[in-house]
Structure 1
Amino acid sequence: MDNPVLWSLISIQVTMGAFDTLFHHEGTERLAWRPSQKHELRLHCVRNFFYLVIFLCFAWLEPHGVWTMILGGILIVEVLITLWDFVEEDLTRKLPATERVTHTLLALNYGAILALAAPVLWGWALMPSELIPVSYGWWSIFATASAIGVGLFSARDLLAASRSDRLDRGDPARLVKDLPPRQSVLITGGTGFIGQRLVQALVAAGHDVTVLTRDIRKVDQLAHPVRVIDSLERIHSDMRFDAIVNLAGEGVATGPWTARKRARIIDSRVAMTRALDALIARLDEKPAVVINGSAVGFYGLHGDTILAEDAKPNPAFVHDVCAAWEQAAAHIARHGVRLVVLRIGLVMGVDGGLLGKLLTPFEFGGGGVMGDGQQWMPWIEHDDMIRVIAFAIANPEIAGPVNATAPIPVRNADFTAALGAALHRPAVLRFPARLIGMLGDMGRETMLGGQRVVPVKLLDHGFQFDHDTIGPMLQRITGSRPTRDVLPVPLARNA
């Protein structure tokens, strides 16, 4: 097997496979956290184990006779598993174009590898059965490193598949059970992290849902049946909506806050809210309620001050964003429509948001505290967020700003410890404030700043959170298997 061309093709295969795993499986698709992909994860587990055997064999052994036949059988089974995997992927998810291209290149390159290896394997198969130790220098070391990598991901995929059933969140219809039957709801931002789950819950409960989105590519991710429009102009004046939920807006923590980025963040929210105001003005029948998004960033940056809905804000760009959004929404009330402004905290769910970005680094031991870890993180569990929206729609007494956060905010150090415990991983790294400060105001305000926000109005109106404590919440939504030696995470001082 001392063929530089063959080894070059193997190295290309490994590189493309690593890209597919890290960029697609772990990055964009996040297969390990999707219960629907349990069978795909099992196939990946078996295939990666076979790759481990193949790489180690090519690196250090020259199999002859029956051993060659066994190796050939493994190569054939690997091809069959790959074909099975292609079918499973098409049945359970929509592959992005980059993943399809990568799979095609992997298949072509693998075919070239088999074509070059087949004559060698045939010659070995005709020899007496034995395993001859060999070494190809750096190629053997490269193959061994590749074997270790695929072995780790084989174990990771097996563990991920085994926890898939524990990630089941139950019937989404229960999240909106307080709503009157057959409500007609218009949602902007319906393809986002919160919006998708809200659509799923409303559709499951039998409500009529209209989603405004400009990204038609994401429509397949929505629960159906749902009406999708790309412009509010498509809504006729005689159409009726019981409620409008406005969640649209460009992500705040998705890149440095250049002047252009700051303008887009604000304009995306204000423009959509003004368009909704214009829509409501021309509707023959006004909606009973509009639920408008905002964020705890409205309060700016505070230390340990407890912040209820009537708290005064401090200057910060995140305050400017929320203030502009809320001011645009305030005009809606002049139509006689009840307006609820949800000041949303960090929404915790494995499907996306902050937690979705942190799961992979924490699982691989890369979790740690931001700065001194004493900044407050007002949070709310994903499904509780949907329940808050439904609660606000269903209760005519609720109006104005509402803090959509769990009743017990947590410091960053406590959150880090709780997530590490839930994933059974160490989280001992420290990310210095100076390093995070290199991201500019975005890093200082969203990672090092915080607000100790409490949901006074929700609690006063009798809302009951399913998840009010960070540790048990993370244990539940990550499908963690609690162990006797995992103790509750203590609250930080001054908590």
Structure 2
Amino acid sequence: MTSTLLWSLIAVQIAMGAFDTLYHHELTERLAWRPSQRGELRLHAVRNWLYALLFLTLGFVEPKGFLAWIVMGVLIVEVIITLMDFVEEDLSRRLPATERVNHTLLALNYGAILVLILPVLLGWAGEATGMAWVSHGAWSLLALIASLSVAVFGLRDWFAAERSERLGLASAAGLADALAPAQKILVTGGTGFVGQRLVASLAAAGHEVTVLTRDGAKAAALPAPLRVVTSLDQLPGDTRLDAIVNLAGEPIADGLWTRAKRRAILASRLRTTRRLAKLVARLDRPPSVVVSGSAVGWYGSRGDEGLVESSPAAPAFTHRVCEAWEREAMDIAAFGPRIVVLRTGLVLGVEGGLLARLLMPFEFGLGGRIGSGRQWMSWISRDDLVRLICHAVATPSPSGPVNATAPEPVRNADFSAFLARQLRRPVLLPLPARLLHGLGRDFADEMLLGGQRVLPQKALASGFRFRHVRLDTALASILGQDEGQEAPVHSAAMVAAGK
């Protein structure tokens, strides 16, 4: 039982399990905040508690007789739970390649552990029932640390599964109430964070949705009925489209802005928008409206100034990207459609975007303000953004740039405090501006340390009303802790006055 090989394999199992939990489950897949993973979280919780029992037993006890049979039973149950987990994962989500490889290595290593440990347990099973207390030195200390760790994460997964009951998304159908029945709408970027919710809302409301995507696997997970195309050339000239919503583009906040990343960010937006212009030009009847994406980065970093659609911009990489993207979209107006360009703020939801990245560190008490915390954050809930897109399609008045942000932007320090309060955690670890600038340069300066105080003047003037106006009530709703507070009503005049 004191075999160095066996303990080495156990140590490898612990290391790979820790990597799977921290990197995949917490950091990248964020399972604790995905309502669809309730069953997987419960399986993880039970398995973690079994691991805690096994590590304590192997580290400090030699179980004899009937107790050895119990340990073997636990090992078999762990295998059954793992197989159930594999099935649950395949049914509920698309695993990244690194997670599949890690799972394979975990299974192989666990098989090797079973080969070494079962003969020992069978030998102990033949002895009189009892326990002999032992110590394996550093290996026992490793077993204790691993046992406490997996027990804690088991509790986290169990409570996260219980919390997911409150995180279930409301029906998407009501988000498209502004649209007339049976609209025919083309959506680019329909597999993204915003696009998925938009497509779900349109399909649930009975509209005919066509999605342009290069990722067939992601498109297959979108709710039916819808049509998927991989090229706009697949749409003949007699295709009828009432509207086009253009959300496609390389994510701008998913990595440092290397030269290649900058080119990809700009090219992906211009390429798709130019192809849409060619499609509209050859259609027998062009759509009545094209809603195209942009971002509040158009304004650059403007300090405390309240920014409406007519405000000028400051030089910045984000401005250059958004300005070029908007110009390409506005050129489509020459073929007949009304053009709406949504300058979108930080989109909040647990399934993606900024909030999803912040949940893990804040939930573990590691969150804090960024830099001075005085920079403005112009935000909008994902459902309000979907509603605003539908409003822009259905309402004839808005055209040109439209700020897609809630009426009450907040400073970063306040954002951090609101989020920590909703999670019932302290705000402990601010991120120093000098460190961020040294690591991220322009990316950090524009995306983390800079900001814009953007006000949705045109949206409100056109009659749109936000469901989530204040950040505290928006976060309460998004995080499943809605207290039923009503948001104040803002008027276009109040926004124009910067209130």
Q: TM-score, normalised by structure 1?
A: 0.95
- For residues 481 and 144 of structure 1, the distance between their equivalents in structure 2, rounded to whole angstroms, comes to 39
Instruction: Write the mapping of 1:21-40 to structure 2, written as runs, cut at 5 A.
Output: 21-40=21-40
Q: How far does the alpha carbon of each residue in 1:109-160 deviate from its partner, in whole angstroms, 9 at most, with x for none?
A: 2122112111111121222222222111111111112112211210110111
Q: Is 1:333 matched with 2:348?
A: no
Instruction: Write the mapping of 1:215-294 to structure 2, written as runs, cut at 5 A.
Output: 215-294=215-294
The match for 1:195 is: 195
The match for 2:458 is: 457
The match for 2:399 is: 399
- The percentage of counterpart residues that share the same residue type is 56
- For residues 85 and 353 of structure 2, the distance between their equivalents in structure 1, rounded to whole angstroms, comes to 28
Q: How far does the alpha carbon of each residue in 1:398-434 deviate from its partner, in whole angstroms, 9 at most, with x for none?
A: 1111100000001000000111111112222111110
The match for 1:142 is: 142
- For residues 247 and 420 of structure 1, the distance between their equivalents in structure 2, rounded to whole angstroms, comes to 31
Alpha carbons 1:423, 1:480 under 8 Å: kept: no
Instruction: Write the mapping of 1:293-372 to structure 2, written as runs, cut at 5 A.
Output: 293-372=293-372
Return structure 1 stretches of 4+ with deviation > 4 angstroms.
none
- For residues 107 and 323 of structure 1, the distance between their equivalents in structure 2, rounded to whole angstroms, comes to 51
Task: Give 1:25 deviation, angstroms.
Answer: 2.0
The match for 2:470 is: 469
The match for 2:95 is: 95
Letter paired with 1:56:
L
Letter paired with 2:442:
D
Alpha carbons 2:60, 2:133 under 8 Å: kept: yes
**Higher deviation after alignment, 106-115 or 445-454:** 106-115
Alpha carbons 2:309, 2:458 under 8 Å: kept: yes
Alpha carbons 2:473, 2:482 under 8 Å: kept: no
Task: Give 1:481 deviation, angstroms.
Answer: 8.0
Letter paired with 2:432:
P
- For residues 97 and 368 of structure 1, the distance between their equivalents in structure 2, rounded to whole angstroms, comes to 32
Matched residue SS, 2:128: coil
Unaligned runs of 5+ in 1: 483-493
Alpha carbons 2:296, 2:344 under 8 Å: kept: yes
Matched residue SS, 1:209: strand
- For residues 254 and 83 of structure 1, the distance between their equivalents in structure 2, rounded to whole angstroms, comes to 33
Unaligned runs of 5+ in 2: 484-497
Alpha carbons 1:292, 1:339 under 8 Å: kept: yes
The match for 1:207 is: 207
Letter paired with 1:218:
K
Root mean square deviation, CA, Å: 1.6
Task: Give 1:162 deviation, angstroms.
Answer: 0.4
Alpha carbons 2:296, 2:454 under 8 Å: kept: yes
**Higher deviation after alignment, 296-305 or 72-81:** 72-81
- For residues 430 and 68 of structure 1, the distance between their equivalents in structure 2, rounded to whole angstroms, comes to 50
Q: TM-score, normalised by structure 2?
A: 0.94
Task: Give 1:263 deviation, angstroms.
Answer: 2.3
Task: Give 1:329 deviation, angstroms.
Answer: 1.1
The match for 2:486 is: none
Letter paired with 2:343:
R
Q: Is 1:54 matched with 2:54?
A: yes
Instruction: Write the mapping of 1:24-173 to structure 2, written as runs, cut at 5 A.
Output: 24-173=24-173
Letter paired with 1:415:
F
Q: How far does the alpha carbon of each residue in 1:201-236 deviate from its partner, in whole angstroms, 9 at most, with x for none?
A: 111111111111123332233222221111111111
- For residues 289 and 404 of structure 1, the distance between their equivalents in structure 2, rounded to whole angstroms, comes to 17
- For residues 419 and 112 of structure 1, the distance between their equivalents in structure 2, rounded to whole angstroms, comes to 44
Task: Give 1:20 deviation, angstroms.
Answer: 2.0
**Higher deviation after alignment, 299-308 or 98-107:** 98-107
The match for 1:4 is: 4
- For residues 479 and 426 of structure 2, the distance between their equivalents in structure 1, rounded to whole angstroms, comes to 16
